[in-house]
Every structure is written in C-alpha cells, then in structure tokens.
Structure 1
Amino acid sequence: MAKVSGQKFTVLKDKKTVVTRAGLWKVPHNTTEDEIYLKVGRYKKPENWIETEVAELDNPKSELTLTGEEFSNLITFIQENYEPFKNGTQAFIPLDNPYDVSVAHQVKQLLNLDDRQRMLDFLIQNDVIPTDLEIGLAHAKRSRAIDEFNSMLELDLTENNWQHWFEINSWVLGTDFVKVLDERTIDTANISDFLMQSYDGFLDIVEIKRPEGGLKFWQASLDHGNHIPHSDLIKAITQASIYIHEVEREADSHKFFQRVGGVRTIKPRCTLIYGRSGDWTTEQQEAFRILNSSYHNLTIMTFDHVIERAKRILGQNC
C-alpha cells in the first residue's frame, strides 16, 4: 500500500483493464476534530499502470466518497455485522447494545412467528423469561390498560368500545370470572354484552352501559330523605334481570349448552356496570351499598368502582 502525507491508498482488485482502489485521507478542521474520508472507486487502467499515490485517477467507471461520519458508521456496521452475517445469521441481538430500537423490532419478529404454541412451549421449556420479568410484563400491561381506561372516560365512546376493552381486560372484573365466552346471544330477542364462565365453572352475565350516554344513577331529588335510583338505572336493572331470567330458561337447552362451549347454567348472576361515582357524597355511597344488598343475583358497579378495583389488584393506591 502506498502512503503519502495525509493520504493512504490500496488496490482492492487489479484486473487486466480495470483497477478497484480505496483511499483514505485526512481532512483538517479548525474548530472540530479532523475527519477521515474514504473513497472507493473502479477505474480504467492507464497505460503502463503501476500502483500510484495520486488521489485522483482518470476515467472512473464508478466512484464513491464517504464523509467522516458516513465512514465511521460504515466501520461500526461492519464490526457489528460482518462475522454473524458471514456465519449465516441475517438478524441477531447484540448483547453489548441490547436496548437499541432495532433489537425491539427483531424480538417482535421472533415472538410473532406463526406457530404461537410452539413458541410458547419453547419459552416455557427453556425458561427463557425469568419469573420476575414475566410478572413485571403482566403488571406493565395491566397498568397501561388502566391508563387507557382513564383516557376512554374522557371521550364520548360507544358501548362497542367498552365491550372491546372489557373483553381484553376481563381481569378488572375480579376473580369471580375466569373466561369470556365467545357466545353472547341468549335467545333470538336478547344479546348480552358478555357471557362469562365464573370461577366455579358456571355461566354468569356482564352487562355494560357506557358512562357517557347521559344515563343518570340517582334521582335529582330525595324521597323521604333518601337517595333513590333514577329511572335510567331501573331500566338497566330490569334489562339485566330479564337476561338472567332468559338464561335460566335456556339452562336445559342442549343447543344453548353447546353454543356456550359446554359451560353449565345454574342460578346465573349478572354484573351490571353502570354510571360514575367519583363525585358521590357519603350518603350516596351508603345508599349504593343498601341498593346492592337488595339483589341476590345482581351486582351493580360503576366505572369508577371498576378502576378502583383494578388499581387494588395491581397494588396501586386509590
């Protein structure tokens, strides 16, 4: 390799009529550090060709000059990727830089392979995910769900949006429920928001009334000094009670039993999620407690109760 002051060249390939050459030279700067540039070119051979120290050659077939920053990035790329790529690896996770954005993309590709069951078995059998990380991931996912719930409360959303959120995050309903059933239809006239399998293996119902629909919980005026349910709430309770009744009527139906995946129906209960309670007075909270105690197969929760329960499940202060 020839060498002159501030320049350095080498021939990469010498063919009969064409030569491929690379050159380095230093570019001085007054206010910043000097830069090293790289030029790679393929040239027509001049007559009587000998390896030359001249920076420029005539008749370039192709030529590329990289600035100092580009050259430095190229060096890093080669250092990190050449050996793994040479050995047949097209994607890998560099352990010396595990939190780069590109790593997240590769991990997603790995975890999104089509054969999910095989991937799950692989992760479990090889103890890939430590227990504390698994717990942390579940906790983080549920925390994001709570943030999403709070954001949704600020919007005028339809019941479909809430149904979708509760389907994904049924854990907020507590340990009474273990599974959301695929079937929602009770009969030709009644479709519930959710049919659920309870912890004891039987079928229960969840009904949701969106909090932004203008539905009232309490009557505006007291009755004999007591808070009483608004007619909107009475209608929702009546609907929930009808669902309970109709499910009981279907309890001996073999077709219904098959539609709900073989979950048995005995004395079904319903959870009604309705309204807001964040600004209730002490008297309204007491009235709510009394109201709920009057039903043996129906539990009423507000959206604020749901989020409070979710926070307690995660150990967050309410």
Structure 2
Amino acid sequence: MSGFDDAATIGEWRTDHLYVHPFRTGDGKFFTVIIEDDGNRSVEYIPPFPSRNRLKIKFTFIAERNEITKIELRKYKEYKDGWREQWSGADDPISLTHFSFQKIMSLLQLMTELGLANVTERRLAIHDGPGPIEKETVEKVKSIMALPEGHKILDEVLQSGLIQSHDIVNIGYRKAQLAIFKRLLEEPAYLDAYKVEESLTTPQEEKIWQHFFQKNPWIFGFGLDYRYLNILQAEAHIADTDLNGNDAAIVDFLMGCTNFTVLVEVKKPSAPLFVRSQNRANSWRLSKDFIDAVSQILEQKASWQIKAETNAHKNFNADAELLRQRTLDPKCILIMSSSAAFAGSEKEREIKLRTFELFRRDTRNIEIVTFDELYERASFIVSDKVSAGGHTVPTDSADYPF
C-alpha cells in the first residue's frame, strides 16, 4: 500500500487516528492525521454514491529540537472514479468548515501536549469528538490543582491507569454534546441554529438527528442491553436494488457490538405514537406513522439478513474495512417520538403508557426507544445519573429501564 500522498488510498485510512512514520535516519518523525470534512455538504445525497471530503494534516517533528517544524494541509474529494487532491492556490484556497476548523484546533492542542519524542505506536486513536474541553471540566481540574496536594492527587490518578488525560477531554466533550441533545429536544428553534453551526443544508429533521448521532455514537454506548455498540456504516445500503434501480433499502445506522451487527432507524421526536381515538378495553390506537416505522425496520432486518449471508466477503464500510461482525437474526433499534406523545389526562396517559409498553415488550428483536429515554440513557453514561421530574438522581444499572 502506498503512502498518504497517494490520493488513491486516502479513503482506506482511518479518520481521527494519529499515524506515526519515523525518519529513516532516526532524527524525527512524521505525524499524519486524516479527518472527515463533510460539514460543507448536505447530508442528503442520491444513492448509491455519497460525496465525501477528507483533510490530511501532516506534522514534521525534529527530535533534537523537540518541536514541530512544519505543518502541511491537503484536501481530497471523492468522485465516482476515486479520490483526487483538491489543489489550492491564490485563486483557489483551501476552505474549511467550522466543524473541521474545531477539529484542527483540538488536534493542534493535542499535538502540543503529547510527548512526541516518546510516541512509539504506529497508530493512535486520538479523538472521541471534535469539541474543546468543556469550561466546567477545566474549572474542576483547576480547583483540584489549587489544593495543597492537588498535583499529587492528579499524578496518582493519571499514573493509576484508571483514567488518562484524554478521558477528561472525552467527558467534557460528551457533557457539551448532551447539552446540545437537550436543546434539540426542547427548543424547536434550535434545530435551525444547529444546522448553521454544523453547515447542514438538509430541510429534513430526521437528517439533522442522524448527523448528531453520527457525531456522537457514544450515546448508543453499551447498547440497550449493555453491549458496546459502534457505528459500522451510516446510511448503509443493506439490500440490492430492483433491476430498474429502485427500492434500495437504506438503514440510518448499521452498528456492531463485538460479534454481531445491529440496525438502527431514527425518526423524529415529534412523530406520533398514537391517534386521537381510544380503542376499547383500556388500550389506545397506535398511529400509522408508528406502525409504518416498525414495518420498515422489520423489512430492513430481513433484507440485511439476506445480504449479509450472501455477500459476507463483500461487505466493506466507508473506510474500506471488511465487516467482521456476523449477522444472525439481527437486533433492531427504533428511535422515535418523545414523552409528548403520552399527553392527556392522567387516565389517558396511563392507558397510552400501558399500550406502548405492552406493544414494545411483545415486539421480538426490536428495541423501541423514545428520544427522551435515549437522552436519559446518555445522561447516565456521562454522570451515572438520570433525571426524574427535572432533577438528577443517582441510579443503579440494575434499575435502569433499558
């Protein structure tokens, strides 16, 4: 495989990883990072080809001077026939999105803090998110450092191996993203502001949420049954099209735990779970949107089962990595609606809650979760607390509702 300067291979390297290439003379090292620069395109595209952009940042480190002496920035764009470098000049400068600029600033901060002379790994994962350290986290660390034994406490924590400096950064980033999650849920006007912040052009609310979750796969955390989940492919084509090219099955997220794949479909928090009229026998009539969503993910499950079994040796993700997870009666997660769907009198609310819970408990292999529940779960991941009636309270994992 050729080096990073070959545009033909730029799509095969992992993003947000620090690649280390020592000089042959031993006098220094090249440090290279590839980041996605997809904030300047719409998250909507015409299947099956999504246009992507990547940035390559290359640092030249001289060991004797213990400093970075040169930084190179190159931009690549993916076309139907492969990747090409986007040449820059006086009339065509490299432009960066706000999202990419934040990631580069965080990367520069990290590079100044790392002991580059002592890095021996050939590849390091360096990011759990693009955001800077949260102000609250900085203040907490400062308050510890202000104590007479502050430095000793922090040194003992870091040396214990129980927490590393990047863990502190990750916690701060996740808390900041949790605040964004809450605003997206509770402030309808913030959706437009978030689109501007993230340079999104899509008019679809579902696409905005897909973008947020793609930036924050940690929210799925240990899965809804305490198995760690990571995104294998966003907007995955999980079935072949018809002969005329129609009816492609696309799931929002193809995720994976250690050994098996999981399908995730994201709808809107405003999507209704019920219609206005009540059924007989203390049950409430489910909405067409809800039934359609369940039918959709069941079809996705069936289509992916067939494709995974018949094309196991061809299922590569966007980073050109072969999926190692097996597909066996895959689990599905449907994220839809919110607590507003249960509005009404106390009796109506009770009937709706009962109907919803009975339905999802009896729906085999589909985990149906509202956005509020997912937010509570993300709160638990960050702080081991969930909110109840507007207040955060500690909880035991055994008591957690998922």
Shorter-chain TM-score above 0.5 = yes
Corresponding letter in the other structure for 2:385:
Q
The answer to whether the Cα contact below 8 Å between 1:204 and 1:270 also exists between their aligned partners in 2 is yes
What are the superposed Cα offsets for residues 72-91 of structure 1, whole Å, 9 maximum, x if unpaired?
Answer: xxxxxxxxxxxxxxxx7989
Partner of 1:237: 294
Partner of 1:167: 214
Partner of 1:271: 333
Partner of 1:182: 233
Q: Does 1:145 align with 2:177?
A: yes
Q: Does 1:107 align with 2:109?
A: yes
What are the superposed Cα offsets for residues 244-288 of structure 1, whole Å, 9 maximum, x if unpaired?
Answer: 111122232125753352321111111000111157333322222
Corresponding letter in the other structure for 2:175:
S
Quote how far apart the aligned CAs of 1:316 are: 2.9
Counterparts of 2:356 and 2:122, CA distance in 1: 49
Quote how far apart the aligned CAs of 1:301 are: 0.6
Quote how far apart the aligned CAs of 1:195 are: 0.6
Partner of 1:206: 264
The answer to whether the Cα contact below 8 Å between 2:251 and 2:300 also exists between their aligned partners in 1 is yes
What are the superposed Cα offsets for residues 170-216 of structure 1, whole Å, 9 maximum, x if unpaired?
Answer: 222241342211361112320100111124x111100001224xx31
The answer to whether the Cα contact below 8 Å between 2:277 and 2:284 also exists between their aligned partners in 1 is yes
- Relative to structure 1, the CA distance from residue 110 to residue 255 in structure 2 (aligned partners, 3 Å threshold; closer, same or farther) is same
Counterparts of 1:300 and 1:289, CA distance in 2: 9
Quote how far apart the aligned CAs of 1:231 are: 0.9
Counterparts of 1:105 and 1:192, CA distance in 2: 32
Counterparts of 1:163 and 1:140, CA distance in 2: 22
Quote how far apart the aligned CAs of 1:167 are: 1.7
Partner of 1:293: 361
Corresponding letter in the other structure for 2:361:
S
When normalised by structure 1's length, the TM-score is 0.57
Secondary structure at the aligned position of 2:265 is classed as strand
Counterparts of 2:121 and 2:365, CA distance in 1: 38
Q: Which runs of 5+ in 1 are unaligned?
A: 1-87, 92-102
Quote how far apart the aligned CAs of 1:292 are: 0.9
Secondary structure at the aligned position of 2:274 is classed as coil
Q: Does 1:193 align with 2:256?
A: no
Flag as ranges the 4+ runs of structure 1 deviating above 6 A: 88-91, 103-106
Aligned CA RMSD, in angstroms, stands at: 3.5
Partner of 2:385: 316
Secondary structure at the aligned position of 2:367 is classed as strand
Counterparts of 1:104 and 1:234, CA distance in 2: 44
2:305 to 248, 251, 254: 248
Corresponding letter in the other structure for 1:232:
D
Counterparts of 1:167 and 1:116, CA distance in 2: 31
The answer to whether the Cα contact below 8 Å between 1:251 and 1:266 also exists between their aligned partners in 2 is no
Say how many residue pairs are matched.
Answer: 212
- Greater relative contact order structure (CA < 8 Å, 6+ sep): 2
What are the superposed Cα offsets for residues 292-316 of structure 1, whole Å, 9 maximum, x if unpaired?
Answer: 1111111111111110111122223
Bigger Rg over Cα? 1
When normalised by structure 2's length, the TM-score is 0.46
- Relative to structure 1, the CA distance from residue 246 to residue 90 in structure 2 (aligned partners, 3 Å threshold; closer, same or farther) is closer
The answer to whether the Cα contact below 8 Å between 1:193 and 1:206 also exists between their aligned partners in 2 is yes
Corresponding letter in the other structure for 1:136:
I
What are the superposed Cα offsets for residues 134-157 of structure 1, whole Å, 9 maximum, x if unpaired?
Answer: 443222221111111112222356
Secondary structure at the aligned position of 2:277 is classed as coil
Counterparts of 1:148 and 1:116, CA distance in 2: 37
Secondary structure at the aligned position of 1:211 is classed as coil
Counterparts of 1:179 and 1:90, CA distance in 2: 35
Q: What is the percentage of aligned positions where both structures have the same residue?
A: 25
Partner of 1:44: none
Counterparts of 2:123 and 2:109, CA distance in 1: 12
The answer to whether the Cα contact below 8 Å between 1:270 and 1:298 also exists between their aligned partners in 2 is yes
2:275 to 212, 216, 219: 219
